Structure 1
Amino acid sequence: MPLLALGAAGFAAAWMLLALLLGRQCAWLAPLAALDMALLLKIGKWPAGTTRAGWAVVATAGVIAAANFLIVAGQVGQNFGIRPWVSALQIGPHYAWLLATLATARGDLALYAVGLLLAAWLGLSGRRPAPSAR
């Protein structure tokens, strides 16, 4: 579980940095976040099934939410000349939600949904042993 939390935090931070660099939401990173979370769970030896799928979906949703919050905080911080993590402590959740909804397009929402569905599918699927020839 610590590996998943560390990976999710790192992915959200990288997503924020790329989005602030490009000046876009970069919603196309949501399916990549799903791949990363499923891979981290597989590396952590979680067996394929509903538990791994649930954790993959929760972790992917957390990455999407954290990245969007950090992007909003970074954009607000740029206007005031402060760092994104300082701005994240200053803005409230309602203001962040308002700015995130204004910046998010329908295509972004579709990519977030693809990411969540991909996380569920990857969590459920696992390598099954091949049938024996006996």
Structure 2
Amino acid sequence: MDHPTPNARPGHGLALLLLLIGSAGFAALWVLLALYSNRPLGWMAVLAAVDAALMLRLGGMRRGWGRALLATVATMAIVALANWGIAGGQIGAPMGLLPWESLQKLGLSYAWTLVQLANGAVEWAWIAASLLLAAWLGR
């Protein structure tokens, strides 16, 4: 019977679990900071890319294009979740709704309109840079 060696790297399961937890936590942090400062904080996308690549690396996922792709997709998901949360928080607060309550009522097309209105060229540049950084750090 084969026994794993003590130096064996963990499987992809740990890396994906860390990525999921890290992504959700980072998106929540981004939403809280943006709602507190009343700004979209597009530069946080770069930190999200670093977070995604770090979670995959800490989880033991092997280097390569698979890890780079996963880090990039996770960064896109963090950006989407954060922007959706920011839009929901901004629109729900005047109605007395908590951010997670307004997210349930916020439709996709309305959220996309709010994200386009809230993010200027600088924020979109930060987001584009974050995707490139995620791919580079993830490889």
* TM-score, normalised relative to structure 1: 0.91
What SS is found at the alignment partner of 1:45? coil
Aligned residues: 124
Residue from 92, 97, 120 that aligns with 1:82? 97
Give the match for residue 16 of structure 1: 31
Partner of 1:25 in structure 2?
A: 40
* 1:91 positional shift: 1.1
Aligned counterparts of 1:71 and 1:91: Cα–Cα separation in 2: 11
**Superposed CA offset, 1:2-61 (max 9, x none):** 111111010000000000000000001011000011000000001111000000000000
Q: Which runs of 5+ in 2 are unaligned?
A: 1-15
Question: Which of 38, 43, 47 is the aligned partner of 2:62?
Answer: 47
- Map of 1:5 onto structure 2: 20
Match of 2:8 in 1: none
1:96 Cα offset (Å): 0.5
Distance 1:63 1:101 in 2: 16
> Distance between the aligned counterparts of 1:25 and 1:48, measured in 2?
32
Q: Give the C-alpha shift of residue 102 in structure 1.
A: 0.7
- Counterpart CA distance in 1 for 2:64 and 2:124 is 26
Q: Whole-Å Cα distance in 2 between the matches of residues 42 and 55 of structure 1?
A: 11
State the secondary structure of the residue aligned to 1:42: helix
Distance 2:101 2:64 in 1: 39
Q: Deviations over 1:75-94 (max 9, x none)?
A: 01111011000000011011
Identity across aligned pairs (percent)?
48
Gaps of 5+ in 1: 125-134
Work out the CA distance in 1 between the residues paired with 2:70 and 2:130: 13
In the other structure, the counterpart of 1:64 is 79
Match of 1:128 in 2: none
TM-score, normalised to structure 2, is: 0.88
